[in-house]
């Protein structure tokens, strides 16, 4: 008869030994340097974000009005976070166990719950801490404009966001432990997000996520509904941990292999491989049948073959990818609306959202990059062929910029949106498409060549590879800062003159793409 208690104690001793060996290999100077770099980056971000906010504080009446309307929007964000957790749980997440743990520990004569519970608690603790840090930063930045005690704003923001971080992970564990398939999990996620969206439209508080968001606004006005999170989160966390040992071994082994490859690709800054592995993790496959089938033309046309191939690729996009692109465009529009209201750092969020959406728009280019051996058969320069794909990506980004403009109407009057939109839509769409195409086409860095430049120069070049492409999109949106805040008379002349600098950046990006060669892809 197998002694389960002895095996459990052996498992604990094995983990203690592995942890001791892992920590013994980390020098305290290296650990201190990592903490120093993370802390320095955080302090710089907080100082920059705080310095960009207007110095004038809102009055008590304006702050109360803000506390009455903002929880619906924050609750919608909380619902999306939990929806992502449900989607992850329906596909075997959220835990990422190492392959040896899956093969040896989960299949050993030991309780699976004993094997999985500690990593699950560790993930809940980490996401709760990460959410609390993010909420504390937001509370600190917000306290510069709101008539509240900074300590109270930090504490309430950390509490609300920390609870949501735990809830998103616990919901995924609950879904995964009960083997709920992806389509019911996605359906529940859609219902929860739609419920919070109805709260935004109706300006009411019915969704539990809207109630949880009330906690973040306790320094302005106390609402007892904010206590809902203190009841729901522990209950869901308990239920998620109760049956976490029943996760699928097949899903766990698959995720272990993909995440190991994903971490290696991130280390090499191979963006294309990261995108492909992320799609495999989420089981996001192209449609077998296109949404609309493009038939052969009965007579000769002047439509370039590359253009037709690009749209055939877009028409096979799965529904989750299309929804993600629209949501990113909406986030960009809402962020630009906040920029017009005076929250200048939100322009970075808008640029990153458009940049990420452009990654999907540049998928046809990525398909060419995935097959570099075909380039030698093309009867033209490879850089010119890259630019042919840019036309379809630009068209897609124009459509997404229209979605962003529609979303910005939540904060910006229509007269301002259409006047500024006519000026900025082309530079923004072209810049985001070009920046995503550059990031896709540059491939993995040549580490051997960069190593000859020395570690200092190599480090800066690796950072430049990550920063420069999204910076092009940021430059394209910067002219909007000159529009002013007068809804009756936006400074369109200043915005139009500033777009010249954005076009220079876009022109440099296009020139860079024109000089690309297959050996660099």
Domain count, the chain: 2
pLDDT higher than threshold 70 for residue 308 = yes
Assess if residue 275 is contained within a domain.
Answer: no
Examine the domain organization and report whether 245 and 313 are in the same domain: no
Cα–Cα distances (Å) from 79 to 193, 233, 320, 505, in that order, read 5, 13, 17, 37
Q: Do the Cβ atoms of 513 and 435 come closer than 8 Å?
A: no
The CA distance from 193 to 76, in Å, is 7
Tell me, what's the pLDDT at 521?
Answer: 46
Q: Do the Cβ atoms of 82 and 189 come closer than 8 Å?
A: yes
Q: Do the Cβ atoms of 341 and 411 come closer than 8 Å?
A: yes
Query: For the residues of 20-37, what is the DSSP string, one character each?
Result: HHHHHTS-HHHHHHHHHH
Examine the domain organization and report whether 221 and 327 are in the same domain: no
Cα–Cα distances (Å) from 241 to 105, 114, 301, in that order, read 18, 11, 61
Beta strands in 292-383 (DSSP E): none
What is the percent of the chain where pLDDT is above 70?
Answer: 81
Can you tell me the mean pLDDT for 460-478? 82
Examine the domain organization and report whether 205 and 65 are in the same domain: yes
Assess if residue 462 is contained within a domain.
Answer: yes
The CA distance from 213 to 329, in Å, is 24
Contacting residues for 309 by C-beta, under 8 A, at least 6 apart:
364
Tell me, what's the pLDDT at 1?
Answer: 46
Tens of pLDDT, residues 361-398: 988 888 877 776 766 666 777 777 778 888 899 999 99
Examine the domain organization and report whether 259 and 306 are in the same domain: no
Examine the domain organization and report whether 314 and 187 are in the same domain: no
User: Is the dihedral angle over the CA atoms 117, 123, 126, 130 positive or is it negative?
Assistant: negative
| Residue pointed to by tokens 């800062």 | 481
pLDDT-derived band at 95, boundaries 50, 70, 90: confident
Q: Do the Cβ atoms of 92 and 212 come closer than 8 Å?
A: no
Structure tokens at 346: 């939100």
Find the helix or strand (DSSP H, E) in which 258 lies: helix 249-268
What count of other Cβ atoms lies within 10 Å of the Cβ of residue 461? Answer: 13
Q: Do the Cβ atoms of 257 and 101 come closer than 8 Å?
A: no
Assess if residue 67 is contained within a domain.
Answer: yes
According to DSSP, residue 444 is labeled: S
Choose between 268 and 506: higher pLDDT.
Answer: 506
pLDDT higher than threshold 80 for residue 187 = yes
Assess if residue 116 is contained within a domain.
Answer: yes
Exposed (0-12), middle (13-18) or buried (19+): which is 68, by Cβ within 10 Å?
A: middle
Contacting residues for 53 by C-beta, under 8 A, at least 6 apart:
141, 144, 145, 342, 343, 344, 345
Distance in angstroms between the alpha carbons of the first and the last residue of the chain: 59
Select from 87, 61, 45 the least CA-distant residue to 327: 87
Examine the domain organization and report whether 335 and 389 are in the same domain: yes
Assess if residue 11 is contained within a domain.
Answer: no
Helices 112-142 and 228-242, interaxial angle, to 10°?
160
Assess if residue 251 is contained within a domain.
Answer: yes
pTM as predicted:
0.77
Examine the domain organization and report whether 391 and 337 are in the same domain: yes
Tell me, what's the pLDDT at 235?
Answer: 92
Q: Do the Cβ atoms of 278 and 320 come closer than 8 Å?
A: no
Tens of pLDDT, residues 233-246: 999 999 888 888 77
Query: For the residues of 322-337, what is the DSSP string, one character each?
Result: HHHHHHHHHHHHHHHH
The CA distance from 14 to 19, in Å, is 9
Examine the domain organization and report whether 214 and 322 are in the same domain: no
Examine the domain organization and report whether 126 and 261 are in the same domain: yes
Q: Do the Cβ atoms of 474 and 509 come closer than 8 Å?
A: no
Can you tell me the mean pLDDT for 473-479? 89
Assess if residue 399 is contained within a domain.
Answer: yes
Tens of pLDDT, residues 105-138: 777 777 777 778 888 888 898 889 888 988 888 8
Question: Can you give 117-157 as a three-state secondary structure string?
Answer: HHHHHHHHHHHHHHHHHHHHHHHHHHCCCCCCCHHHHHHHH
Helices 228-242 and 150-177, interaxial angle, to 10°?
30
Domain containing 513 equals: 288-294+301-520
pLDDT higher than threshold 60 for residue 294 = yes
Select from 402, 407, 412, 400 the least CA-distant residue to 330: 407
Q: Do the Cβ atoms of 326 and 334 come closer than 8 Å?
A: no
Examine the domain organization and report whether 204 and 306 are in the same domain: no
Tell me, what's the pLDDT at 395?
Answer: 92
Structure tokens at 372: 């570099």
Query: Residue 139: CA atoms inside 13 Å, Cβ hemisphere, count?
Result: 28
Assess if residue 492 is contained within a domain.
Answer: yes
Examine the domain organization and report whether 415 and 481 are in the same domain: yes
Phi-psi region of 343 (alpha: psi -120 to 50; beta: other; left: phi over 0): beta
Examine the domain organization and report whether 215 and 349 are in the same domain: no
Q: Do the Cβ atoms of 144 and 211 come closer than 8 Å?
A: no
């Amino acid at each position: 008869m197998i002694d389960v208690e002895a095996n459990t104690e052996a498992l604990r001793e094995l983990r203690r030994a592995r942890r001791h060996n892992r920590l013994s290999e980390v020098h305290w100077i290296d650990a201190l340097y990592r903490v120093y770099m993370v802390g320095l980056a955080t302090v710089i971000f907080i100082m920059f974000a705080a310095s960009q906010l207007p110095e004038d504080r809102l009055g008590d009446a304006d702050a109360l009005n803000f506390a009455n309307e903002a929880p619906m929007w924050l609750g919608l964000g909380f619902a999306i976070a939990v929806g992502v957790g449900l989607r992850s749980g329906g596909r075997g997440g959220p835990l990422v166990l190492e392959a040896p743990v899956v093969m040896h520990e989960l299949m050993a004569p030991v309780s699976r719950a004993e094997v999985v519970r500690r990593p699950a608690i560790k993930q809940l603790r980490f996401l709760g801490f990460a959410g609390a840090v993010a909420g504390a930063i937001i509370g600190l930045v917000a306290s510069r404009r709101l008539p509240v005690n900074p300590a109270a704003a930090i504490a309430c923001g950390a509490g609300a966001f920390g609870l949501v971080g735990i809830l998103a992970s616990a919901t995924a564990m609950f879904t995964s432990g009960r083997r709920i398939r992806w389509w019911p999990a996605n359906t529940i996620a859609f219902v929860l997000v739609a419920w919070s969206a109805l709260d935004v439209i109706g300006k009411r508080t019915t969704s539990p996520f809207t109630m949880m968001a009330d906690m973040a606004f306790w320094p302005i006005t106390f609402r007892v509904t904010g206590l809902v999170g203190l009841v729901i989160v522990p209950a869901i966390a308990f239920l998620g941990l109760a049956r976490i040992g029943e996760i699928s071994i097949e899903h766990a082994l698959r995720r272990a292999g993909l995440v190991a490859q994903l971490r290696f690709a991130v280390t090499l800054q191979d963006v294309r491989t990261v995108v492909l592995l992320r799609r495999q993790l989420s089981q996001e496959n192209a449609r077998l049948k296109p949404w609309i089938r493009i038939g052969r033309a009965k007579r000769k046309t002047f439509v370039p073959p590359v253009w037709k191939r690009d749209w055939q690729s877009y028409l096979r996009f799965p529904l989750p990818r299309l929804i993600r692109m629209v949501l990113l465009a909406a986030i960009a529009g809402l962020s630009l609306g906040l920029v017009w209201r005076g929250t200048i750092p939100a322009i970075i969020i808008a640029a990153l959202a458009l940049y990420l959406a452009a990654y999907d728009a540049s998928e046809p280019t990525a398909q060419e990059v995935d097959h570099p051996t075909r380039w030698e058969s093309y009867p033209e320069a490879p850089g010119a062929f890259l630019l042919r794909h840019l036309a379809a990506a630009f068209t897609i980004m124009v459509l997404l910029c229209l979605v962003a403009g529609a979303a910005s109407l939540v904060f910006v009057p229509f007269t301002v949106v259409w006047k500024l939109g006519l000026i900025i839509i082309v530079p923004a769409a072209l810049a985001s498409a070009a920046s995503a195409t550059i990031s896709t086409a540059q491939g993995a860095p040549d580490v051997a060549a960069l190593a000859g430049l020395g570690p200092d120069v190599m480090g800066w070049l690796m950072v430049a590879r990550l920063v420069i492409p999204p910076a092009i999109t940021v430059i394209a949106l910067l002219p909007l800062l000159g529009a002013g805040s007068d809804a009756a008379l936006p400074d369109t002349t200043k915005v139009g003159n500033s777009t010249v600098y954005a076009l220079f950046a876009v022109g440099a990006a296009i020139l860079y793409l024109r000089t690309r060669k297959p050996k660099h892809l």
